[in-house]
Amino acid sequence: MAVKSAKHTELGAFLRSRRERIRPEDVGLVRGPRRRVPGLRRDEVAQLAGASVDYYNELERGAGSQPSEQMLAALARALRLTADERDHLYHLADRPVPVQGGLSSHVHPGMLDLLTRLTSTPAQVITDLHATLVQNPLAVALLGDQSGFHGQEASFIHRWFTDPGARRIYPEEDHPTQSRALAADLRAAAARRDARDTEASSLIATLLHRSPEFAELWAEHDVAFRRNDRKRLIHPALGVLDVNCLHLFSEDGRQRLLWFTPAVGTDSADKLDLLAVIATQQLTDHGN
């Protein structure tokens, strides 16, 4: 117990030191005129990590329970930790450092910084297997909150080929094009991974077993990363939006920053303006 207590104390001190070095504007927050503390406040870190203020306070005091791997990943992103700092955080919490590419993957601070600065357009960071790691409020308003999926279901490719409900976001006539693009992208991503990697091979095996459509496309051996797409998205309140989906790849290809811009010659710019209103309302409702 003494070792655990000492580690919890060090964990709290480490979180506090990382919190105090970050300026609010670095993470998209407004610096008020009466700010009395250096860096972020505890409640701001809790908000960014999706935790309760009481829970985060307990962590900093070294009195909290052992945080989950999902919470550690959220804290690492909220505090813009480097890869070494993220690993240290997991060690202090007595949690195994996650393998890069999964849902607890470390998002590079530079990519998070870009996401934070994309305040007027939907944007999110996904893995190479299309599992969403983090979304800005506009992406949540456009695509829905994708933080509740776990395991293979976290991959949009998995949901696309196994859950008909996942396809409602695209017009039905666009489904064949999307299926082909996703299968080709998965082949490219899987080939780029280490031969000993099991995450991608397990996903492919599941899809081959569960989806005849995927099996047929996989047998064609098409390979192509998705980079710049023109697509139509169905929003429950705004109808069909014509958007360009742009991809920025990390150096190792394991993560991508996606952002959506209105297609020229359509009314999607006006609809994205309305989307901002919806996003604001969702944040207000969540806060209440």
CATH number at 47 reads: 1.10.260.40
**What element of type H or E holds 114?**
helix 109-117
Secondary structure E strands in 189-235: 228-235
Question: Does residue 175 belong to any structural domain of this protein?
Answer: yes
Question: Does residue 29 belong to any structural domain of this protein?
Answer: yes
Question: Does residue 104 belong to any structural domain of this protein?
Answer: no
pLDDT tens across 98-132, in order? 766 555 567 877 788 889 888 889 999 999 999 99
SS3 135: strand
Q: What is the CATH number of the domain that holds 118?
A: 3.30.450.180
Q: Measuring CA to CA, which residue among 131, 223, 217, 153 is closest to residue 180?
A: 217
Asked if 64 and 133 sit in the same domain, the reply is: no
pLDDT for 151 beyond 60: yes
Distance CA 204, CA 206 (A): 5
pLDDT for 4 beyond 60: no
Distance CA 53, CA 56 (A): 5
pTM, to two decimals: 0.75
Q: Which residue is listed with tokens 């394991």?
A: 254
Asked if 53 and 82 sit in the same domain, the reply is: yes
pLDDT tens across 226-284, in order? 888 899 999 999 999 999 999 999 888 888 999 999 999 999 999 999 998 898 888 76
pLDDT tens across 67-76, in order? 998 899 889 9
Q: Which residue is listed with tokens 């800005």?
A: 136
